[in-house]
Amino acid sequence: MTQWVYRFGGGKAEGRAEMRVLLGGKGANLAEMSNLGLPVPPGFTITTEACTHYYKNGQSYPAGLTDEVASALAEVGGLAGGIFGDTSKPLLVSVRSGARASMPGMMDTVLNLGLNRETVAGLAKLTGDERFAYDAYRRFIQMYSSVVLEMDHAHFESILEGEKDLKGAELDTDLEAEDLQRIADLYKAKVKKTLGRVFPDDPHEQLWGAIGAVFGSWSGQRAKTYRRLHNIPEDWGTAVNVQAMVFGNRGPTSATGVAFTRDPSTGERALYGEFLINAQGEDVVAGIRTPQSITRRAREAGGSKRSSMEEAMPESFAELSRIADRLEAHYRDMQDVEFTVQEGRLFMLQTRSGKRTAKAALRTAVEMVREGLISEDEAVLRVDPAALDQMLHPTLDPKAPRSVIVSGLAASPGAATGEIVFTADEAEHAASEGRDVILVRLETSPEDIHGMHAARGILTVRGGMTSHAAVVARGMGRPCVTGAGSLKIDMERRTMTAGGVTIGAGETVTVDGGAGKVYRGRIPTLLPELTGDFATLMGWADKKRRLKIRTNADTPADCRIALTFGAEGVGLCRTEHMFFEAERILAVRQMILADDVEGRKAALSKLLPMQRGDFTEIFRIMAGLPVTIRLLDPPLHEFLPHTQAEIADVAAASGADPHKLRARVQALSESNPMLGHRGCRLGITYPEIYEMQARAIFEAAIDIGVELGKSVALEVMIPLVGFKSELDLLAEKIAQVAAAVAAEKGTAPIYAIGTMIELPRAALRAADIAKTAEFFSFGTNDLTQTTLGVSRDDAGSFLNEYLARGLIERDPFVSLDTEGVGELIEIASERGRKTRPDIKLGICGEHGGDPDTIRFCESVKFDYVSCSPYRVPIARLAAAQAALKSARERD
Amino acid sequence: MTQWVYRFGGGKAEGRAEMRVLLGGKGANLAEMSNLGLPVPPGFTITTEACTHYYKNGQSYPAGLTDEVASALAEVGGLAGGIFGDTSKPLLVSVRSGARASMPGMMDTVLNLGLNRETVAGLAKLTGDERFAYDAYRRFIQMYSSVVLEMDHAHFESILEGEKDLKGAELDTDLEAEDLQRIADLYKAKVKKTLGRVFPDDPHEQLWGAIGAVFGSWSGQRAKTYRRLHNIPEDWGTAVNVQAMVFGNRGPTSATGVAFTRDPSTGERALYGEFLINAQGEDVVAGIRTPQSITRRAREAGGSKRSSMEEAMPESFAELSRIADRLEAHYRDMQDVEFTVQEGRLFMLQTRSGKRTAKAALRTAVEMVREGLISEDEAVLRVDPAALDQMLHPTLDPKAPRSVIVSGLAASPGAATGEIVFTADEAEHAASEGRDVILVRLETSPEDIHGMHAARGILTVRGGMTSHAAVVARGMGRPCVTGAGSLKIDMERRTMTAGGVTIGAGETVTVDGGAGKVYRGRIPTLLPELTGDFATLMGWADKKRRLKIRTNADTPADCRIALTFGAEGVGLCRTEHMFFEAERILAVRQMILADDVEGRKAALSKLLPMQRGDFTEIFRIMAGLPVTIRLLDPPLHEFLPHTQAEIADVAAASGADPHKLRARVQALSESNPMLGHRGCRLGITYPEIYEMQARAIFEAAIDIGVELGKSVALEVMIPLVGFKSELDLLAEKIAQVAAAVAAEKGTAPIYAIGTMIELPRAALRAADIAKTAEFFSFGTNDLTQTTLGVSRDDAGSFLNEYLARGLIERDPFVSLDTEGVGELIEIASERGRKTRPDIKLGICGEHGGDPDTIRFCESVKFDYVSCSPYRVPIARLAAAQAALKSARERD
pLDDT value of position B322: 97
H or E stretch covering A218: helix A203-218
> Which residues in chain B (83-142) have CB-CB distances under 8 A to chain A?
none
| A725 at B interface, C-beta within 8 A | yes
8-state DSSP, B252: T
Cβ contacts (< 8 Å) between A673 and chain B: which residues?
A: 671-672, 794
The SS3 assignment for A442 reads coil
The SS3 assignment for A416 reads strand
CB contact under 8 A, A685 and B789: no
> Which residues in chain B (660-679) have CB-CB distances under 8 A to chain A?
670-677
H or E stretch covering A715: strand A714-718
Q: Dihedral sign, CA of B18, B20, B22, B28?
A: positive
| B802 at A interface, C-beta within 8 A | yes
State percent of chain A over pLDDT 90. Answer: 67
Q: Looking at CA atoms only, how far is residue B731 from chain A in angstroms?
A: 14
Q: How many CB atoms lie within 10 A of CB B92?
A: 24
Q: Looking at CA atoms only, how far is residue A670 from chain B in angstroms?
A: 6
The predicted model scores a pTM of 0.79
Does residue B409 contact residue B465 with C-beta atoms inside 8 Å? yes
CB contact under 8 A, A676 and B797: yes
Tell me how far apart the alpha carbons of residues B203 and A882 are, in angstroms, rounded to a whole number. 76
Nearest CA-CA partner of A549 in A228, A158, A843, A833: A843
Chains A & B: contacts with CB separation below 8 Å: 161
CB contact under 8 A, B759 and A671: no
> Which residues in chain A (780-799) have CB-CB distances under 8 A to chain B?
782, 785-791, 793-794, 797-798
pLDDT value of position B390: 67
CB contact under 8 A, B677 and A729: no
Q: How confident is the model at residue A58 (pLDDT cuts 50, 70, 90)?
A: confident
| B780-788 helix and A780-788 helix, angle to the nearest 10 degrees | 180
Residue range A150-196, pLDDT digits in tens: 898 888 988 988 898 888 887 777 889 999 999 999 999 999 999 99
| A808 at B interface, C-beta within 8 A | yes
Nearest CA-CA partner of B516 in B627, B590, B405: B405
Tell me how far apart the alpha carbons of residues A158 and B567 are, in angstroms, rounded to a whole number. 73
Residue range A709-741, pLDDT digits in tens: 999 999 999 999 999 999 999 999 999 999 999
The shortest CB-CB distance from B823 to any of A764, A802, A807 is to A764
Provide ipTM, 2 decimals.
Answer: 0.78
Q: Looking at CA atoms only, how far is residue A727 from chain B in angstroms?
A: 10
pLDDT higher for B229 or A666? A666
With 0-12 / 13-18 / 19 or more C-beta atoms within 10 angstroms meaning exposed / middle / buried, residue B423 is middle
Q: Looking at CA atoms only, how far is residue A626 from chain B in angstroms?
A: 29
Nearest CA-CA partner of B554 in B567, B531, B570, B569: B570
Tell me how far apart the alpha carbons of residues A227 and A467 are, in angstroms, rounded to a whole number. 20
Tell me how far apart the alpha carbons of residues A528 and A637 are, in angstroms, rounded to a whole number. 39
| A765 at B interface, C-beta within 8 A | yes
Q: Looking at CA atoms only, how far is residue A595 from chain B in angstroms?
A: 16
Q: Looking at CA atoms only, how far is residue A362 from chain B in angstroms?
A: 39
Tell me how far apart the alpha carbons of residues B157 and B165 are, in angstroms, rounded to a whole number. 12
CB contact under 8 A, A787 and B760: yes
**In this predicted structure, which of A305-319, A607-621, A693-707, B268-282 has the lowest mean pLDDT?**
B268-282
| Backbone angles phi and psi of B627, in degrees to 5 | -135, 120
Residue range A836-857, pLDDT digits in tens: 999 999 999 779 989 999 999 9
Q: What letters, b where the CB count within 10 A reaches 16 and e where it falls short, cover A417-429?
A: bbbbbbbbebbbe
Measured CA angle at A794 (ends A789, A795), to 5 deg: 65
- Mean pLDDT score of chain A: 91
Cβ contacts (< 8 Å) between A798 and chain B: which residues?
A: 677, 681, 684-685
CB contact under 8 A, A760 and B806: no
CB contact under 8 A, A798 and B684: yes
Paired with B29 in beta bridges are: none
Tell me how far apart the alpha carbons of residues B350 and B23 are, in angstroms, rounded to a whole number. 13
| B824 at A interface, C-beta within 8 A | yes
Quickly list DSSP for A726-763.
HHHHHHHHHHHHHHHHHHHHSSPPPEEEEEEE-SHHHH
Tell me how far apart the alpha carbons of residues B75 and B83 are, in angstroms, rounded to a whole number. 9
Q: Looking at CA atoms only, how far is residue A320 from chain B in angstroms?
A: 49
For chain B, the first-to-last Cα distance in angstroms comes to 34
8-state DSSP, A565: T
Measured between alpha carbons, how far is residue B241 from residues B7, B94, B182, B462 in Å? 10, 8, 31, 29
pLDDT higher for A800 or B115? B115
Cβ contacts (< 8 Å) between B824 and chain A: which residues?
A: 760, 764
Kindly state the average pLDDT of the residues A224-249.
Answer: 86
Cβ contacts (< 8 Å) between A805 and chain B: which residues?
A: 684, 729
Could you give the residue numbers annotated as active site of B? 468, 844
Q: How many CB atoms lie within 10 A of CB A378?
A: 15
- Whether residue A429 has pLDDT greater than 50: yes
pLDDT value of position B224: 78
Cβ contacts (< 8 Å) between A765 and chain B: which residues?
A: 819-820
8-state DSSP, A525: E
pLDDT higher for A765 or A593? A765
Tell me how far apart the alpha carbons of residues A384 and A392 are, in angstroms, rounded to a whole number. 13
Tell me how far apart the alpha carbons of residues A659 and B447 are, in angstroms, rounded to a whole number. 35
Could you give the residue numbers annotated as active site of A? 468, 844
| B820 at A interface, C-beta within 8 A | yes
Residue of B nearest to A783 (CA): B789
Best B755, B761, B809 member to test A by mutation, with max A CBs in 10 Å, is B761
* Mean pLDDT by groups of 10 residues along chain B of 891 residues: 94 95 95 97 97 90 95 96 94 93 67 95 94 94 91 88 86 86 95 94 96 88 74 85 95 94 92 91 66 92 89 96 96 95 96 88 96 96 85 78 89 88 90 89 79 91 77 74 88 90 93 90 82 93 97 90 94 86 82 89 94 96 97 91 80 81 85 94 96 97 95 97 96 97 96 98 98 97 96 82 84 92 98 98 90 96 92 95 92 76
Measured between alpha carbons, how far is residue A320 from residues A94, A285, A292, B386, B754 in Å? 22, 19, 16, 87, 62
Tell me how far apart the alpha carbons of residues A704 and A623 are, in angstroms, rounded to a whole number. 9
Map B590-659 to HEC letters: HHHHCCCHHHHHHHHHHHHHHHHHHHHHHHHHHCCCCEEEECCCCCHHHHCCCCHHHHHHHHHHHCCCHH
Cβ contacts (< 8 Å) between A671 and chain B: which residues?
A: 673-674, 791, 793-794
Cβ contacts (< 8 Å) between B820 and chain A: which residues?
A: 722, 760-761, 764-765
Residue range A741-779, pLDDT digits in tens: 999 999 999 999 999 999 999 999 999 999 999 999 999
CB contact under 8 A, B760 and A676: no
Tell me how far apart the alpha carbons of residues B727 and B716 are, in angstroms, rounded to a whole number. 12
CB contact under 8 A, A788 and B759: yes
Does residue A699 contact residue B767 with C-beta atoms inside 8 Å? no
